[in-house]
Structures are given as structure tokens and as C-alpha cells.
Amino acid sequence: MPLSDLEIWAEIHANRLQIVPLDEERVKAHTIDLRLGNHLLLLFKREDVRGTVINPQIADVMSVVKRHSEEITLSEGQVFPLEPGRLVLAKTLERVALPHYLAARVEGKSGFARVGLQTHVTAPIIHPGFDNVITLELINNGPFDLLLAPGMDIAQLVIERLGSPVINPYQGRFQSQQ
């Protein structure tokens, strides 16, 4: 069951749930707004992928991604036009640390969805024990270029309490991604 703002604040004040940096106005009725950080990974430059075929079941997906992508760092005030049909990996400004009895889901924002921005492809779950920034898979499914800027509200986090703490908290490969 999702936590209410009252429960979210209780977890934050007890230092069990950490959102850094925390802007108090971002805690809503039952979500926490997340902002876009300044690091983007533009995936699959069109000129590099023509004719490339991969089998995600056996390929080293991350090496394929890195080989066909371009890292972009935006400065304050700079924008990145996300063209229709393009995919970027983007990091949140906020680092999120979850205790062993809370999980979270990253959800899009309705205003962006209405112009075609998909915030995550199939990976909305943040596991108990996670402690890092969150990587978003941003796809422009609309007909217009969408301007992405560091610090803009980009997603929302729904925090959920588990029935009991997990035995094996998250220790996956994305725990230390930067």
C-alpha cells in the first residue's frame, strides 16, 4: 500500500527514508516529485545502429548500449531537445535510499505523458535497500521535440511499505551506477 505524505514525512524525519537533496515542496499527498539531473546518455545514435541486430538474451546489453551511445552533460540553464522516437537514459537529481521494508515505483507525470514523454520503459520498481540516483528511460513518443532541462520535475516516486523487511535487500549492478 502506498504511503501517505504523513507516513513519508515520518520515515524521512526518522532518517530511514532518504531523499537527497530534499525539497519539502516535492512531497505531495502520496508521492515525491523527482527532478532531472544533468547527465544524459543519448542511446543509439541513428547513424551507428543501422543494420545492427542484437539478441538481448545473450548479448552484453550494456556494452552494446555504451558502444552506440553518447554521454551528454547539461549545464544549468542548458536544454536538450529530445526528438520524436529518441531514447535517453537520464539520472534523477535526487539520490534515494530505501530501508529494507520499503519499496518504490517511479511513475511519469501526466503533463509530460500528454505530449508523449514516456518516463520508464519497463523498469519502474526501486527495490528495498536501494541507495543511489534513479536512472530513467525517457522516450519521446509524441510528434514534437521535448525540451529537457536539469532541475525540471520529471517523475514521481510512490513509496510502498512491505509486509515485512526483506531478507535480501537490493545489491544489484545498479546500486553503484553513476
DSSP label at 173?
T
11 is an active site residue: no
Q: Three-state SS for 25?
A: helix
Instruction: State the Cα–Cα distance between residues 102 and 42, nearest whole angstrom.
Output: 31
HSE-up of residue 3 (Cα within 13 Å, Cβ side): 25
Choice among 7, 71, 83, 137 that is catalytic: 137
pTM, to two decimals: 0.87
Residue 68, judged by CB atoms within 10 A of its CB (0-12, 13-18, 19+), counts as: middle
In order along its 178 residues, the chain shows pLDDT tens digits of 999 999 999 999 999 999 999 999 999 999 999 999 999 988 776 556 666 777 777 767 777 777 778 899 999 899 999 999 999 999 999 999 999 999 999 999 999 999 999 998 877 899 999 999 999 999 999 999 999 999 999 999 999 999 999 998 877 656 555 5
> According to the model, what pLDDT value does residue 58 have?
72
C-beta separation of 112 from 119 below 8 A: yes
Q: Tell me the per-residue pLDDT of 43-53, one tens digit each, with 9 for 90 and over.
A: 776 556 666 77
Give the cell for residue 44: 543509439
Query: Residues for the chain: how many in total?
Result: 178
**Number of other residues whose CB lies within 10 A of the CB of residue 96:** 21
Second CATH level (architecture) for the domain 5-161: Distorted Sandwich (2.70)
Give the cell for residue 63: 556494452
Cα–Cα–Cα angle for 53, 134, 16, rounded to 5 degrees: 150
Residues 6 or more apart whose Cβ sits within 8 Å of residue 86: 42, 43, 139, 140
C-beta separation of 139 from 121 below 8 A: yes
